[in-house]
Amino acid sequence: MHPVSSVHLHPFSVVSNGRVGEDIFRLVIEARDLAGVIRPGQFMNFEVPGDPSHIVRIPLSFASADAAGGTIEVIYAVVGEGTRRLSRMGEGDSSTVVGPCGNGWRVTSGGRALLVAGGVGAPPVISFARALVERGRAVDVVLGAQSKNRLWGERDALEAGADEVVLATDDGSCGMRGFATDAMRDLMGRHQYDLIGTCGPGAMMEGVARIAHEARVECQASLERMMTCGFGACSTCNVAMRAGGYKTCCSDGPVFDAEEVLW
C-alpha cells in the first residue's frame, strides 16, 4: 500500500452535522490543509470536546474531500459516548483532528472493480470508487446493512461514478434480502473483476476475502481496530498476519491485502 503520510494536528470547524439514518450522521468539517492532502482510505483521529476524562480520539474515515473548498465529509454511527458527543457538535463548533492517518487504498488502473461495504464501512468505499473511476475503471458497489434505516451511500456511489449499485439488507427492508456477500456472488456471476475492495464488519470482510481468494482476485480490506495513539506507538490496534507476527492497523493499515491477514 502507500507509504505512511506525514501526520499533523489540524484545527477544524463544523460546517454541518445532521442525521441521515438511524443513529447515522453526516458531518462536514472545514479543515483546509487536511482536505488537500488526505487520500481515499486514510482516516482522521477526532478530538471531541466536552469530557476531559475522555482523552482517546475517535478514528473516522471520510467519504469525500473538497481540496478547493477546504471541506471533508464524514459519515458516522453513534455507538458510544464519543460519537454521541460528536453528534451534538453544531455549525461553527471547533476542535482538532489528527491526520491524514494510515496508508489508504492502493488505486490502480485496470479492468472492472467490485467494492463491498457493510454499514458505516461505506464512506471509505465511496472514496475508493471515485478514485478508481478517475483512473478509468468500471466499478460496481454492494452496500449492505441490517436494515433500510442503517443503509447509507446509494446516491453517493452513483455520483462517484459506479456502474451498478446493489443494495442488500438482512431484513429485506431495502434492496435484496440477504448479506452483502450474497449480492457479491451474484455480481461475480455476471461480471469479470480484477480487483475487490471491502470495508465493514469483520465477519463480512472475512467472507468477502474468502470469495476473492476462491476466485483468485486481488482483494484489499480496510480493517477496524480499537485505537489509542493512532500513529503506531502503542500496539493497541495490532492485526495478526497469516505469515506470523502483527502489523498496526493505524499506520501499516487500515488497508491490507486480504491474503496477508489472519482472519
- Which residues are near ligand FAD by CB under 6 A? 43, 58-61, 75-77, 79-83, 120, 123, 224-227, 254
82 touches which of ligand FAD, ligand FES, none (CB within 5 to 8 A by kind)? Answer: ligand FAD
Smallest separation (angstroms) from ligand FAD to the CB of 22: 13
- Rounded CA-CA distance 221/253 in Å is 9
- Rounded CA-CA distance 48/87 in Å is 10
**Measured from the CB atom, is 211 or 223 closer to ligand FES?**
223
Smallest separation (angstroms) from ligand FES to the CB of 200: 20
Tell which positions 13-52 bind ligand FES, by CB under 6 A: none
Smallest separation (angstroms) from ligand FES to the CB of 103: 12
Q: Which stretch binds ligand FES (CB under 6 A): 95-103, 126-134, 184-192, 231-239?
A: 231-239
- Rounded CA-CA distance 229/149 in Å is 32
With binding defined as CB under 6 A, does residue 245 bind ligand FES?
no
230 touches which of ligand FES, ligand FAD, none (CB within 5 to 8 A by kind)? Answer: ligand FES
Pick from 174, 183, 112: nearest CA to 142: 183
The most distant pair of C-alpha atoms in the chain lies apart, rounded to whole Å, by: 53
60 touches which of ligand FAD, ligand FES, none (CB within 5 to 8 A by kind)? Answer: ligand FAD
**Measured from the CB atom, is 20 or 233 closer to ligand FES?**
233
| Pair 220, 256: CB distance under 8 Å | yes
| Pair 96, 12: CB distance under 8 Å | yes
131 touches which of ligand FAD, ligand FES, none (CB within 5 to 8 A by kind)? Answer: none
- Rounded CA-CA distance 77/75 in Å is 7
**Measured from the CB atom, is 111 or 245 closer to ligand FES?**
245
| Sequence-ordered list of residues with C-beta below 8 angstroms from that of 27, at least 6 positions apart, any chain | 14, 16, 17, 73, 74, 75, 76, 86, 89
Smallest separation (angstroms) from ligand FES to the CB of 222: 15
Angular region, 92: left φ>0, alpha ψ -120 to 50, beta rest: left
Smallest separation (angstroms) from ligand FAD to the CB of 77: 4
Which residue in the block uniquely carries the three cell numbers 455507538? 79
**Residues in touch with ligand FES (CB under 6 A):** 227-230, 232-237, 248, 250
